């Protein structure tokens, strides 16, 4: 395989991997990290009940950090994707 073709294919692979990683849904661990501080601050009494924590975060979404709000209450345009 010509050397230039290898470089082109390698670059295409890297760009595809970077784009795919950027579009991937956040993992549970990432979501937990983004909302942990908000959950402790706003929803301490309901910890460790995950369903109640989620409901509490939705109820107090106006007080969430932007990262957590993006997970708990995504914009309408993101929901339709």
This prediction's pTM: 0.58
pLDDT at 66 (0 to 100): 94
pLDDT at 27 (0 to 100): 80
pLDDT at 62 (0 to 100): 94
Which helix (DSSP H) or strand (DSSP E) does residue 49 occupy? none
Q: Alpha helix locations (H) across the chain?
A: 3-23, 28-43, 50-59, 66-72, 76-79
Report in angstroms the alpha-carbon separations of 23 from 26, 42, 80: 9, 29, 14
Low-confidence ranges of the chain (pLDDT < 70): 1-26, 76-81
Residue written as token pair 């073709």 = 5
């Amino acid at each position: 395989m010509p050397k230039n073709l290898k470089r082109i294919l390698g670059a295409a692979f890297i760009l595809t991997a970077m784009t795919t990683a950027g579009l991937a849904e956040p993992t549970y661990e990432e979501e937990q990290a983004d909302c942990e501080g908000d959950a402790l601050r706003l929803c301490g009494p309901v910890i460790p009940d995950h369903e109640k924590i989620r409901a509490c975060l939705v109820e107090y979404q106006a007080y969430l950090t932007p990262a957590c709000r993006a997970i708990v209450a995504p914009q309408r345009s993101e929901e339709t994707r």
